[in-house]
Amino acid sequence: MIAIVKESATPEQLDHFVSWIEDRGFRTNVSHGENETIVGIIGDTTRIDPFLLESMDIIDQVRRVSEPFKKANRKFHPADTVVDCGHGVLLGGGNFQVIAGPCSVEGANLMDIARAVKSAGAGLLRGGAYKPRTSPYSYQGMGERGLNLLMEAGGELDLPVVTEVMDPRDVQLFLDKGIDVMQIGARNSQNFPLLREVGKTQVPILLKRGISGTIDELLMAAEYVMSEGNPNVILCERGIRSFETRTRNTFDMNAIPVLHRLSHLPVVGDPSHATGHTRYVRPIAYAACAAGADGLEIEVHDQPSKAWSDGAQALTPTQFRDAMRRIALIRDAVCADLGEGDE
């Protein structure tokens, strides 16, 4: 349920209303927009008489919200969320960013790759120190040493670092290292203890859609994080499993505008994991930009044929630079004119 506050309401009246609601066992989420203030009421709202609320001096109108996700819901928070990723890099609300780097951290070549992606225009550096692999015999990542290398590269180049956390027990290590953005991978999108643990931090969370997850399941995963007090969630469409076998996954282009309609959270597209093939990464990246994505996550490697993981879907620095040029052209031609009322 949401209560829309009258413009004439004073801060004291709003505080009194919020206290009145919370004293009755409900949680609240107050959103101050440009044109109106909304109080989201979370709990079993069937126990609240909406006509009683509307009779109060400061309440303009009351609406029930049927979706189970509340904090991630645009009805509770009409304005786009802008996530501060560190180093002055903002994502969402018109701030477009590209996250780029190798699938996994391998060693000294990380710095060369980081320099290449930054010079091409990437705003954040990605790299896996801990790697969830289908086979227990595949390369699992460098672990803590990989985190150190990422932070060294990010610090030297003034780039926020994005890397995946897989275990609730590792969250404190990531905090101690100063990781700027913690990624929750597709395989952990419903690892609820992990979602709750990262929700107890204020570190931005890049939350990937599950391999066979629905849009609502992605939003409910975001709700787990936000319900613990962390509002800094970035949604990521990375392709879902379908009957098609010509690509690694099927990129759900529909998800980008649908997520924007349902949620205020930023939406990023990952064309690398969606397609699994270098030749398809750039076309899907361009399409995601045209569909209104707030950012992209793209794998880049200096020698893809020698990459320790997922080299088949990595762009070379030259290919990435060309992609960034075309992405800028697409955003200038299409995305700059997209408005709230566009369908």
pLDDT tens digits, one per residue of 244-294: 999 999 999 999 999 999 999 999 999 999 999 999 999 999 999 999 999
Residue 342 has pLDDT above 70, yes or no: no
Residues 136-140 have a mean pLDDT of 77
**Do 2-63 and 83-337 come out as alike in CATH topology?**
no
Q: What is the DSSP string of 221-274?
A: HHHHHHHTT---EEEEE--B--S--SSSSB--TTHHHHHHHHBSS-EEE-HHHH
Yes or no: is domain 83-337 CATH 3.30.230.70? no
CA distance 31 to 3: 11
CB atoms near residue 258 (< 10 Å): 14
Q: pLDDT at position 341, please?
A: 44
- CB hemisphere CA count around 48 (13 angstroms): 24
Which one-letter DSSP state was computed for residue 80?
Answer: P
0.85 exceeded by the pTM?
Answer: yes
Helices (H), 10-123: 11-22, 50-54, 109-120
Pairing of β 90-91 and β 83-84: antiparallel
Lowest average pLDDT, out of 23-32, 143-152, 319-328, goes to: 23-32
d(CA 165, CA 27): 29
CATH label, 2-63, candidates 3.40.50.1220, 2.40.50.140, 3.30.70.1140, 3.50.50.60? 3.30.70.1140
The helix/strand/coil state of 108 is coil
In this prediction, residue 338 carries a pLDDT of 52
C-alpha–C-alpha distance, residues 170 and 165, integer Å:
7
Q: What is the pLDDT of residue 134?
A: 76
| Coil, strand or helix at 325 | helix
Q: pLDDT band at residue 337, thresholds of 50, 70 and 90?
A: low
**Per-domain residue ranges for the chain?**
2-63, 83-337
Average pLDDT, rounded, for the chain? 93
